[in-house]
Amino acid sequence: MTRKAKIEAGSGNIFADLGLPDTDNHFLKAQIVSEITGSPVR
């Protein structure tokens, strides 16, 4: 039996996509950490 995955385009904010509260604040913190560590954030 083959299962098909449902794929949806993201909003660009994973925290909003997951339905978490205070998404803008979480995303900003992720961007700051990305700059400090050198990891890319889209």
Supply the pLDDT for residue 41: 64
Please report, in tens digits, the pLDDT of each residue of the chain (42 residues total): 788 999 989 999 999 999 999 999 999 999 999 999 987 766
Supply the pLDDT for residue 2: 86
Supply the pLDDT for residue 42: 62
- Angle at CA 31, nearest 5°, toward 29 and 35? 115
> Cα Rg for the chain, rounded, in angstroms?
14
Supply the pLDDT for residue 39: 77
Supply the pLDDT for residue 17: 95
Per residue in 2-38, is it b (16+ CB within 10 Å) or e — as a string?
eeeeeeeeeeeeebeeeeeeebeebbeeeeeeeeeee
Question: How far apart are the C-alpha atoms of 15 and 41, rounded to whole Å?
Answer: 13
